[in-house]
Amino acid sequence: MVLVGLLVLSLFHASLVRSQPAKISQQASSPPQPAGEQSSPGTGNLSFPWSRLRLPRYIIPLHYRLLLHPNLTSLSFTGSVQIQIDVQNNTNWVVLHSKGLQISRATILNQNLGHLSDQVLPVLHNPSHEQIGIFSPWVLSSGQKYFLYIEFGEKIEEGSAGFFKSTYKTSEGEIRTVASTHFEPTGARMAFPCFDEPNFKANFSLRIRRSPEYISLSNMPVFKTVEINGGLLEDHYSASVKMSTYLVAFAICDFKSVTATTSTGVQVSIYAAPEKWNQTHYALEVAVKMLDFYEEYFNIHYPLPKQDLIAIPDFKSIAMENWGLTTYKETCLLFDPLTSSVSDKLWVTMVIAHELAHQWFGNLVTMEWWNDIWLNEGFARYMEYISVEATYPELKVEENLLHACFSAVGHDSLNSSRPISSTAENPTQIEEMFDTVSYEKGACVLHMLRHFLTDDVFQSGIVRYLRKYSYRNAHNQDLWDSLANTCSEEDFISGKHCYSSSQGSKNAYLFAGEHLDLTAMMNTWILQKGIPLVTVTRKGSRLLLRQDRFLRTVLPSDPLWSTLQQGYLWHIPLTYKTDTSSTTHRHLMTTQTDSVHIGEDVSWVKVNSDMTGYYVVHYEDGGWDEMAKLLRENHTALSYKDRTQLIHNAFQLVTAGHLPLDKALDLIGYLKLETHTDPLLEGLGYLEAFYRLIEKRNEIDLAHNLGMYILRFFRGVIDQQTWSDTGSVSERRLRSEVLSLACHLNDPPCLEQARQSFKDWLQSNRTPNLPTDVAETVYSVGAQDDHGWASLLHTYNTSLSATQKEKILFALTCSRDPNKLLRLLELGLEGKVIQSQDLTSVIMMVARNPRGHHLAWDFVKKNWSTLVQKFQLGSYHITNIIIGTTGQFSTPEELADVKLFFESIKEQASQLRTTQLALDNVQKNVRWVQRNLETMRNWLNEKN
C-alpha cells in the first residue's frame, strides 16, 4: 500500500509542471488550497501546492548543513539550514515540514551555489499538516541537484518534543538551564525545516554556537571549535552517516562526563549534571559491555566513532536512541549505590540495552513508515532480554520477559486493541503507535519466532536483514525474506547466501515434519489484532485442539461473541510437554480445530511450554482440576515459567468467562509450597489486584476479609523477609513486593518495623541510607503522619538522587489525607518542586490510592486542556493518564462518567485509541465485579 501511495503522489505532482526551464503559470503550480493555510508576506495569490499529510516524493534531501545558535539566557534560538536536494520531477515548489518556526528567509541555489533568483522566495504555511511550501519562479529541473537555504528562529520553551529547555537545581539551590532535543516521531520539524519522514534519509553536518560556560553535544564528534564574535564558541561536527531526521540530536549543557573505550575503539561517554557525576559509572560499564555484545551478535561494527549517553533533567520521555547521542531520563541512566535498589539496577541496564540495540535496529535499518514501528521497538525490546541475559546473567532478566508478554495479553485481549502493523498517518496516530502492542507484543512475537526457528537461524536471519538494508528502510516482508533466507533473483545470481524467491517455497522451514510458509504464518500475527485462545481437551490417546480469539470484554454467552470471532485464524507454533517424556513436542496449528496424538499413558499435558508462544491455553473438561492436582502434588514437575503461566492464564480465563473464580483461587492454593519468586508474585499479584479494586468500592468487610486471608496465607513468606539488601536479585525483588503489600494491608509486625526504621532514619539526619529494597515501604509508612510527610517532601526537594526522589514521591502519594494528595497534583502541574516529567506518575500514583482515585480523575477532567498542551495528544503520557486514572473504576456510574467526559472532548477523544481502551477496561471491571464478587465473598467465608 505504501509503494502504491508513493507512486500516486509522484504521478500527481508530475502533472502540475512542465519540463521547459521557464516560469510556469499560477494555474499549473497550484492545486486546490487546503483549509488552515497561512501565507508569508510576498506570496500574493499563490495557494499551497500540496494537500496530503505525507510529503511528495519528487524532491529527495541528500545533505543538511545546519547552524544553530541557542541562547539559554533569552531562551530562544536562531538557525539556518542548507539542504542539498535531488529533484526528480520538474517543479516550481519545494514542500517540507516546519512546525512553530519563524521563517525569516528562504532561497534556492544551483549546484554551484549561485542564486536562482535575486529575490527572497515566497514561503507558504499549512499549519494543519505542519508543512511549508517554497515557491521558485524558475523551474527546478528533473535530474538536477539544488541547495535550499532557510533562516529561522523560535523560543526555547519547556516541552516534550522538538528543541526544549529543562532545568535542574544544584545542592546550593541554584537553578540551571539545559537545552536538548527529542525528535521521534515528528519533532525535528520543530527545530529546523526538514523532510521529516523516516524514509528521507540524509547526511547531517552541524555547527552549534554556545557560550564558553556550556558544552554542546550532537550525534558525531566535534572536529574543531572556533571563537567567533562576542566571545562565543562555534563547535563544528563531523558529517553524520545517512540517517532519518528523527535521529538527529543536540544538547547544550554544563554537564560532566566519564569515558571509556569498547574493544573495537568506540569512545563511550556518560554525561550528567556535575553533582551527579558519581552516579554515572555503572551506566558506563553497561554501555561498553552492550556495544561489545551487539557488535558481536549482529556481526556488524558500530559505525560511529563515539556513543554518548546523557541524563537529561526533567526529560518527559524515558529514553531516545538518537544515533551517537542517546538521551535518558535520570532514573533510566544514573545509578546511586546508596539509594538505588536492585530493581533500579535492572531497569537502568535494560533501558541502556534497549537504546543501544536501536543503533542497529532502527538507526542502521529503519522501518519504511510508522505503521511498522514495531520493527524498531519490538526488536529493541526483545534485544533487551537477549543482551542482558548474556552480559548480566545474575540479573535474571528472563523472568521479566514473562511479565512483558502478560502485559501484552492484557492489552491485546480487549476488542479495542490493534494489529502490530497498523495505519498511522497524522502525528497523533503516529504517537499512539508507541504502545504495548509495538513494544511488548512485538517482543513476544519475536520470542515465539526465535524459539520456532531456533536461536542460530533467528540470529543469522536478522544479521542478513541488517546487512542487506543498512542505511535504508525496510518493511515486514523484508524481515520475513531475510529470516527465510530468500532474496531477489539479482542477489541470488550475484552469489549471495540465500535462496532465490522462486526457490523460497521449496526450501520452506520444516517444523515438526511440516513445511512452513513463514510469511503466511507471520502475517497472522502482524496484520490481525488480538491473541488466540487454544482450548485443549483429552480424548483417549489424542489431544483435541480448538483456536478462538481470546477476548476479556465479551463473554462467550454474549450475542456479539460470534461476530467478534469471525475471520480470525492464526498459524500457531504449539509446544507441549507430558509426564511421560522430557521432550518438548511441537505442532503447527493452522486450522480452527486440530488434534495431536499423545498416547494413552499420559496423565497430564502442559501446552505452551515455558510460554514461548503468544497464546492463552484453556484446559477444558476437568483439565484445570488436573493442573491444580499436579501443582499440589508435584509442582516442580513443571518449570517456574510454566507454573507462572498457569496462574496467569487461569485468572485471565476467569475475566473472560471461561473459568469460575474459585477454580483459579484453588489453583494457587499450592503456593504455600512454592519457593520461586515468579509464581509467588504472580499469585500474590492477582490477590493484590482484587484487593485494590475492592477497597475502592467501599466494600469494607470484603476488603478486610481478603486482606486478612492474604496475610494469613502468605505469613510464612512475609516472616522470612529481612529488612536488608541481602540475597539474589529474585529474593530481593520478592522482599520489596511482599513487605510493601504487607504494610499496605496493615500487618502489625510490618508496620512496627517500618515505623521504627523511619524514626531511626529521621533521628540520624537521614544517614545512613535505608536498605534500598525496603526504602519505599519505610517511606510510605512514615508518610502517614504530618511530620513524616513534611520531612519526606523536604528530602525530596533537596535530594540529588533521582531514584530516591522517585521512591519518596510514591510514598507521599500514599497519604490518606486528600488535601495532601491534591497538593501533590497541583505541585506536579506547576512543575517546580515536582518536575513536569513526573506529573504523569503523580496522577497515576494518586489514582492508585483509595482516597485519591476519584480525586485524580476529577483533576484530569478539570485540567485536560493543560495536560494535552504539556504532553502531546497521542503520547504515552496521555495514554497513561487516561488508563491510570480510570483503570480501577468498576461501577456502572463510573463507566457512565468516563463516557460523559470523553463525549465532552469528542474532537480529541475521537482521534485516540486510548479512549476506547479505557472504556473497554472499565466495562471489563464492571462485568468482573458483577460476575465474581459474590463468588469471592463466599470463597473467603469458607476459607476464614
Enumerate the active-site residues: 355
Give the residue carrying C-alpha cell 499538516: 129
Give the residue carrying C-alpha cell 548474556: 390
Report CA torsion sign: 831, 835, 836, 840. negative
Give the C-alpha separation, 497 to 519, whole Å. 19
Grid cell of 575 as nine digits: 509446544
Q: Which residues contact 474 (CB under 8 A, 6 or more apart)?
A: 365, 366, 367, 368, 375, 465
Is 740 in contact with 776 (CB distance < 8 Å)? yes
Q: Which residues contact 494 (CB under 8 A, 6 or more apart)?
A: none
Is 249 in contact with 216 (CB distance < 8 Å)? no
- Output the 3-class SS for 633-649: HHHHHCCHHHHHHHHHH
Residue 116, φ and ψ in degrees, nearest 5: -75, -25
Grid cell of 494 as nine digits: 550475484
Interaxial angle between packed helices 729-744 and 342-357, expressed in degrees from 0 to 180 and rounded to the nearest 10: 120
Sheet holding 175-182, edge to edge: 162-169, 175-182, 250-253, 215-218
Q: Which residues contact 457 (CB under 8 A, 6 or more apart)?
A: 483, 509
Helix/strand/coil for 153? strand
Q: By C-alpha distance, which of 220, 475, 471 is closest to 365?
A: 471
Helix/strand/coil for 703? helix
> In this structure, are strands 76-87 and 145-155 parallel, antiparallel, or unpaired?
antiparallel
Give the C-alpha separation, 76 to 284, whole Å. 33
Give the C-alpha separation, 564 to 367, whole Å. 31
Residue 327, Ramachandran bin (φ over 0: left; ψ between -120 and 50: alpha; else beta): beta
* Element of type H or E holding 606: strand 605-607
Which contacts (CB < 8 Å, 24+ apart) does range 669-673 have? Answer: 669/628, 669/632, 670/628, 670/631, 670/632, 670/635, 671/713, 671/714, 672/713, 672/716, 673/632, 673/635
Give the C-alpha separation, 412 to 419, whole Å. 9
Grid cell of 442 as nine digits: 512485538
